Amino acid sequence: MPDLTFSQELLKAVVGGAVPTAVLVFGGRWLLDKYDIRKKQREQEMELAVKEQLQETEVNRKRREQEIELVRFVRQRQYEALQELYTLFARYMSFYRLINSRHLDLKDSACRLNLLEQIAEAEGRVDAAILRIASEFAHEDSARLGGYLADMRQSVQIWRERVCQGSELPFDSSGQADYLRFKKAFSQTCTYLASLIYQRLEPTSVSVEQAATILTTVFDNVHEWHGPH
């Protein structure tokens, strides 16, 4: 192989040094560009993940607020049902004191009719309260509730029956059977409802089947009271 001239040697040296340098420069630029692209992708992915997380957090927050609001609404409805029983109990006690006050002429038809209208309205409210309680409080383990409601419905009927007869209520003592049944039915029902409200943070899950069973049983004549009167 012939010896290279000085010019050829110089050209060879220049080319030999330039090629690696060019490879290094352009290769390095490609790597840097690829790194920048990958970095931007990661940043976009992280930004998207953070955005999705914030959206999920906001959705969960709104859902929880709705759940809390629903619980508050249901609780308020349950408190109202309990308060209605307290009001009805007071109403019937007022009737009792009025009927047995001997200031009314129960033999007078006009007097009886006026009183009967008020008693019938109160008795209708009792029926409505029973429907509401059975619909909103009945659950899989509420067999006792049916008995309490049945006793309550039957125990208030004596007011209407006695006024129709033009007679006072036979409550001659706190232990008289009819009077005792009335007080016991209201106290048991109120205590049962209060225990469901105060002992649980979440409202009780209502059973449609159990509610229907309770209502069918409560309004059955099998619970008619044939006691002392």
CB 206 within 8 A of CB 132: no
Residue 125 maps to a domain: yes
**CATH at 171:** 1.20.120
pLDDT digits (tens, 9 = 90+) for 57-95: 888 888 777 766 766 777 788 889 999 999 999 999 999
pLDDT in tens, 48-59: 888 888 888 888
pLDDT in tens, 90-146: 999 999 999 999 899 999 999 999 999 999 999 999 999 999 998 888 776 677 888
pLDDT band at 181 (very low <50, low <70, confident <90, very high): very high
* Per-residue pLDDT tens digits for 156-176: 999 999 999 999 999 999 899
9 is a domain residue? no
What is the distance between the alpha carbons of residues 153 and 35, in angstroms, rounded to a whole number? Answer: 81
35 domain residue, yes or no: no
How confident is the model at residue 11, as a pLDDT? Answer: 54
**For residues 16 and 36, which has the higher predicted lDDT (pLDDT)?**
36
In a domain, 93, yes or no: yes
Apex CA 5: angle with CA 4 and CA 9, to 5°?
Answer: 70
**CA–CA dist 99, 179 (Å, integer):** 14
- Is 191 inside a domain boundary? yes
User: Does residue 16 lie in a domain region?
Assistant: no
Expressed as residue numbers, the domain containing 160 is: 74-223
* 0.75 surpassed by pTM: no
Cα distances (angstroms) measured from residue 87 to each of 54, 75, 92: 49, 18, 9
Number of domains the chain contains: 1
Centre a 10 Å sphere on the Cβ of residue 130 and count the other Cβ atoms it contains: 23
For residue 216, what are its two tokens? 């069918």
Task: Please indicate, yes or no, if residue 167 is contained in any of the structural domains.
Answer: yes
